[in-house]
């Protein structure tokens, strides 16, 4: 007979509980995507409801967090295009994830193509060099604002392509 005194409680589990496999991949369903888009759309509504000049950062932070999460899972472009299709929008050939999420969660009468592009480029700059523990609004403001972040991204891209 085995002496169980002093043994950890997991030794007392029935054998079938020890052999149950843990599912590693949880599918990202269309319903989960709809909920994520709703969360970003709510941030859009909140940013429009506040009259502060920096109110747009509430929305941009929601967009940034969603796409950053998708990027960490290496599926940002695929999910962004799926989000557009869920909204009955056709993805553009070279549309990147930030622009796609902005297009399907903001009001097109308030965010035109140029604004969407500017915000998207600022977020692309932030994802490339923002410290994880720094809030997005503080990072962008520390770097000089949205327009300066766009200019810095342009500099980064031209350095990488060897045009400078």
Going by pLDDT thresholds of 50, 70 and 90, the confidence category of residue 9 is: very low
Cα 42 from chain centroid?
15
Q: Comparing 110 with 163, which gets the higher pLDDT?
A: 110
- The closest of 102, 101, 90, 98 to 125, measured between CA atoms, is 98
What integer pLDDT is reported at residue 132 of this predicted model? 93
Give DSSP secondary structure letters for 25-39. Answer: PPP--HHHHHHHHHH
Res. 3: pLDDT tops 90: no
pTM of the complete model:
0.82
* Domain residue extents for the chain: 30-149
What integer pLDDT is reported at residue 157 of this predicted model? 87
26-53 pLDDT tens trace: 789 999 999 999 999 999 999 999 888 8
Going by pLDDT thresholds of 50, 70 and 90, the confidence category of residue 6 is: low
Residue 86 tokens read as: 């869920």
Average pLDDT for 11-38 = 71
- The closest of 96, 101, 97 to 44, measured between CA atoms, is 101
Res. 13: pLDDT tops 70: no
Residue 106 tokens read as: 């903001």
CA atoms of 147 and 70, how far apart (whole Å): 25
Going by pLDDT thresholds of 50, 70 and 90, the confidence category of residue 94 is: confident
What integer pLDDT is reported at residue 54 of this predicted model? 87
Mean pLDDT of the chain: 87
127 close to 64: Cβ distance less than 8 angstroms:
yes
What integer pLDDT is reported at residue 27 of this predicted model? 87
């Amino acid at each position: 007979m085995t002496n169980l005194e002093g043994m950890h409680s997991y030794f007392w589990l029935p054998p079938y509980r020890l052999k149950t496999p843990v599912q590693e991949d949880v599918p990202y369903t269309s319903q989960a995507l709809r909920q994520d888009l709703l969360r970003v759309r709510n941030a859009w509504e909140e940013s429009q409801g506040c009259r502060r000049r920096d109110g747009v950062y509430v929305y941009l932070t929601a967009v940034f967090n969603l796409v950053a999460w998708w990027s960490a899972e290496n599926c940002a472009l695929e999910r962004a295009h799926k989000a557009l299709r869920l909204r009955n929008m056709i993805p553009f050939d070279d549309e990147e994830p930030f622009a796609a999420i902005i297009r399907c969660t903001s009001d097109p009468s308030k965010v035109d193509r140029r604004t969407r592009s500017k915000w998207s480029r600022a977020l692309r700059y932030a994802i490339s060099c923002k410290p994880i523990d720094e809030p997005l609004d503080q990072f962008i403001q520390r770097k000089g604002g949205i327009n300066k972040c766009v200019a810095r991204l342009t500099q980064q891209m031209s350095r990488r392509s060897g045009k400078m």
